[in-house]
Every structure is written in structure tokens, then in C-alpha cells.
Amino acid sequence: MIILSVHNSYQQPGGEDEVFRQEAQLLEQHGHQVIRCQAHNDEVTGKSSLELLAKTIYNTDAYRRVLALIKETRPAVMHVHNTFPLLSPAVYYAAAKESVPVVQTLHNYRLLCAPGTLHRDNHVCEECIGTFSPWPAVLHGCYRGSRPASAAAAGMLTIHRLLKTYSKTVTTYIALSDFAVSKFVQAGIPKDKIIVKPNFVDPDPGRGDGPGGHCIFAGRLQPEKGILTLLNAWTQHSLPFDLEIAGDGDLAPEVAAAAERCPRIHWHGRLQKTQLHDRIKKAAAMLVPSTWNEPFGVVVAEAFAMGVPVIASKIGALASIVAHGRTGLHFTPGNADDLAAQLRWFHEHPKAALEMRDEARLEFERNYTGERNYELLIEIYQKTIQKNIARYGAGRSSADQDIDLVQIAGNSSSQRRTQSGRLN
């Protein structure tokens, strides 16, 4: 099978970038040919606001690039991970023109929310779910704290809802958890178009020994990741573990300042994978203090693979992925006192902590290995291809036409009065 894998990489590498890389490698290991098509957010530097807005809504260069790749390689399926902002939904139309079915992994909530997090001002926000145009995001400047940037994201969503892009050109959606499915269905994506496939870890990093002297946080230092909850827990309480933080991001100055004030906080910046895995394997627990509704969280699967329990906020998919008392513990999101209480309990019950290490590893072996992911992924591709054949047969798709910004603008004005407020 030939698979065209499409992804717009982030300036600060995260779980999505890792899944894109790992899935491509996994498919190649099983004998498939993977054609990678990438853009990188570093490319936005130097672009004017107007140019970036146009490319975010519909990038004709991306359309031509993907169309040329499809004509050259004839993939059986196009698997899209992220199109925002530079690839844009134009890539869907390139696939539709050549009747290539599209699988879209819903790594975040970008189809529902301008910043993709359903999170604002340190709390969960679902104000834009159910609205046809996510104008509240512009009002609040939700994306990068900028109203113009938020307007670009909101404009992209509004126009492509008008055009029914998300229903016409995407054959199958992959959600990472049942919780994520509930949010997308609430927004209007038909449930029968969504298949759950969690994230995974490959190659298997192996189980660690876990001497238990520290707990670790690994991820982007962004507000929604709950890093301030960790800092408050360690600076306001006397805790039995050191805190190791691996990652970088907007809250790096706050982390650096807390590490200076508190000798038990150690910030390592962004680590190489081997260095990070070494620290995780030696940790007593992985900390995932998110204050947003995580669709999954690759770091949870990584911790389980290394036999490390996860102490996580009881929010989003984390509430079900981490089994309280079996593979880890839950605490109230954003509550540093509750986190401190769970850490003390964990330290005072070493037998339970050891049993959690066994259960965490078993959870990985059952659900999050490369082989299990490969089985699920190939099944999804096969179902997607069959759906595409049933819909179009050997002929051309209903979207067999070039789309440009002039056509989009014209279609938008003529359809505006007739569309409902649901995601299409």
C-alpha cells in the first residue's frame, strides 16, 4: 500500500509531530510505502498578516503540491495529521480531485476551536462548540493571544463549514479517545465517520527500574498543560519527591524562576529522547497536570511503556486512560493542594506504587504497542478505501474541481443564509 502522510509541524515539537513520525516509520517497517508531505510553522516568519490569512484559508501552493504528489505516486489513501496554518484544507480538495480517500487524525480540537484546546484563561472553554462561526475566539484573542491570528483561524473554520469541506472531503476521522469522540459529535461530526485509535509508543523503550527519588513532567510549558499547578505544589508544600521538568515553551521564565527559588525543582529544558527516557524510567511517577480536556496524551503511553504510574488531572481523556488506584492516581485539575495530597499518599504506600508499575506496563502491552496500533491503522485504511469505492466507484469524486480563493469567497456569500450552525 502507498500512503500519503500529510502534516504541518509545530514550532515547539509535541505529541502530534511524534505520532506523525512514528506512524510513518511503523508503516514502512511493515512494507508499505509512505510519501511524506510536510510544512513547518517556522515558515510563517516574514509573511504578512494578509498573506498568512489567505494561506490559512486555502493555500493554492499546497493544493498543487499535494495534487502533484498524488498524480506521481497514486496513493491508496491520504492520511492527514495537521493542516493548520500553512497546508490548509486545500489538501483535502487535492485528494478529492483524484478520488483519493482521506483519513484525518483529530489530534486536538482545531475543528471546533481556534487554538484547538477548548481552553481559555486557565479554564475549560466550550463557548465555540455549536456556533457556526467561532467569533468568541476572535473577541477573546484565543489563538496566540492575538485577535488577528484568531480571526485567521476562525475565518478558516467558518468558510470551510460553509463549503461543507469537512463532510465532503474527509472520509474517516480518527479520534484518540471516547471522550474526544463525544466533543466532535457534539459539534456535528457524524459518529459513524469517527473511529477511535489511541496514540502508541514504538519502538518499545522497555521497562525502567524506578528508584523513586523524583517525579517528572515532560511536555510543552504552556498554560493548558498545568505546569503552574506543579510549581505551586512544590513551592507551597514540603513534598517527598524532587520535581524534574523536561520541556520548553511560553512559561519557561516561570519554571526557571521556580527552580531558582526551590532546590527540589530541576528544569532540564528540551531533552533528547534517550535522555528523557532515562529520566522517566528512573522516576517514581509521571505527572500530567493538564487543565484542558486532553484528547489523549502521548506522554501517558510513554510512561506506561516504561512501567511508570501516571498522576494526572481528572479531566478529558485522562480521567479514563489513567485508572485511579491501578495505573496511577487522579487529582482535581488546577488544585495544587490535591496534587500534593496524592503525592504524599503515593509515597506512603510503596506496595501500591509498585503494583501500579506492573499494571502500567500491562496497560501498554495490551493497548499501546506499535503492533496493536498497526493492526488498528490498517483496518481503518481498509474500511476507508471500501467506503470510498462504495461512494464513488471507479469514477471521479463530487469535488472534482479546482478551488481558489475567489470561488470560496463567492460560495461563502451565496450560502451564508442557508447554513445551520453545525460543523460540516
pLDDT at residue 394, as a whole number: 57
pLDDT at residue 318, as a whole number: 98
pLDDT at 107 over 90: yes
pLDDT at 220 over 70: yes
**Three-class secondary structure of residue 288 per DSSP:** strand
Cell of 174: 480518527
- Angle of helix 147-162 versus helix 405-415 axis, rounded to 10: 70
Distance CA 160, CA 153 (A): 11
What integer is the mean pLDDT of 377-398?
A: 82
Cell of 8: 504541518
pLDDT at 65 over 80: yes
pLDDT at 267 over 80: yes
> Tens digit of pLDDT for each residue in 238-266?
999 999 999 999 999 999 999 999 999 99
Distance CA 105, CA 86 (A): 17
Q: In what order do the strands lie in the sheet with 214-218?
A: 265-269, 242-246, 214-218, 285-288, 310-313, 328-331
Rounded to the nearest 10 degrees, how much is the dihedral formed by the CA atoms of 308, 311, 314, 315? -70
Whether the model clears a pTM of 0.85, i.e. scores above it, the answer is yes
Q: Is the dihedral of CA 201, 113, 380, 28 positive or negative?
A: negative
pLDDT greater at residue 392 or residue 164: 164
What integer is the mean pLDDT of 36-58?
A: 85
